[in-house]
Structure 1
Amino acid sequence: MALAARILLIPYLVSLFLITWLPGSEAERVTGIVAYTAHALERWSIPFAVGYPALEFTANIVLFLPFGLFLRLAWPQLTLLVVSLSSSAVSVLIETVQVLLPTRYPTVSDVIANTSGGIIGYGLAIGAVALVRRYAAVNR
């Protein structure tokens, strides 16, 4: 399982950096669903100014779930602290590069959401491994 997670981490990171560093107009092909959904929520009286930031924050959490998950599965000895700091460091790297990109807008809330996603992914990996072990023990 560790080898598979290490292999999957590579295309995940490539995709992550493409999504976060492509020019805004190109990235909207992937991230445009956030604005589309926020506009759809307006039909249920949720203002775009409320829906969009909430959805964007949630999308950033989801974007980093695989990071924490793959790190934990690839290197089971990693602690929550290490995965938290790694998630934060990668997020800060992304936001720092975005400072140099004219169509990207770095924010502290992205770092918070991304780090949270990595932490949640770590927890999901622990839960998934526990379920697999439990299932294997029951079916022996």
Structure 2
Amino acid sequence: MLHRHPLLSLVTLVYLAFVGWITLTPGHDAPTSSAFVQRVLDKLQSYDRLAWLTDTRAEFLANVALFAPVGLFLLLLVGTRYWWVAAAVAFAMTNAIELAQRAIPDRVPDERDIAANTLGAMVGIAVGVVLTLPATLRRERRTRLQSASASRLR
């Protein structure tokens, strides 16, 4: 799988390293705990239409957004036929992250993070299935035509 898609594999590994940096950095050094992030969130919350965007909801949405590319990359690596493998790997990965956070200072594992990360991965998988649907349909049509012409030759 990795040897057939070296560029996609490299991009996936780089993105997974980024996810590791975001999720496994000690809490006080985490990039998400910066004053800039808090200022942006405060500014967004100052708009009446975005008053619903609490810190908890923003974190949930950020986790969904962070894991959508994970689902997409995993789907592209394993193929749409095995979308469930991509989902299982993403779910296992998010559980591993939450378990690892128990040993990291100022990090708190949370079941909502597992839900948000898995939801994000499933969104990425769904986007990948939709984006690859035309190619999948072309391959299936080509296979049917080849099967039909092979059966006529017999």
Q: Normalising by the residue count of structure 1, what TM-score does the alignment of the two structures yield?
A: 0.80
Structure 1: which 5+ runs fail to align? Answer: none
Residue by residue over 1:18-73, the C-alpha shift from the partner in whole angstroms, topping out at 9 and shown as x without a partner, is 11111223213x464653333113312527xx511111101001111111101111
Structure 2: which 5+ runs fail to align? Answer: 139-154
State the match for 2:89 in structure 1. 86
Distance change >3 Å, CA 59–CA 110, structure 1 → 2? same
Which is further off, 32-41 or 97-106?
32-41
State the match for 2:119 in structure 1. 116
Counterpart check, 1:42 vs 2:45 = yes
Q: How does 1:9-24 map to 2 (within 5 A)?
A: 9-24=12-27
Q: Normalising by the residue count of structure 2, what TM-score does the alignment of the two structures yield?
A: 0.73
Identical aligned residues as a percent: 27
State the match for 2:129 in structure 1. 126
Match of 1:6 among 6, 9, 31: 9
State the match for 2:68 in structure 1. 65
Give the number of the structure whose alpha-carbon radius of gyration is greater: 2
Q: Which amino acid aligns with 2:25?
A: L
Q: Which amino acid aligns with 1:84?
A: A
Q: Which amino acid aligns with 2:123?
A: I
Q: C-alpha distance in 2, partners of 1:81/1:34? A: 34
- 8 Å Cα contact 1:5/1:71 also seen in 2: no
- 8 Å Cα contact 1:58/1:113 also seen in 2: yes
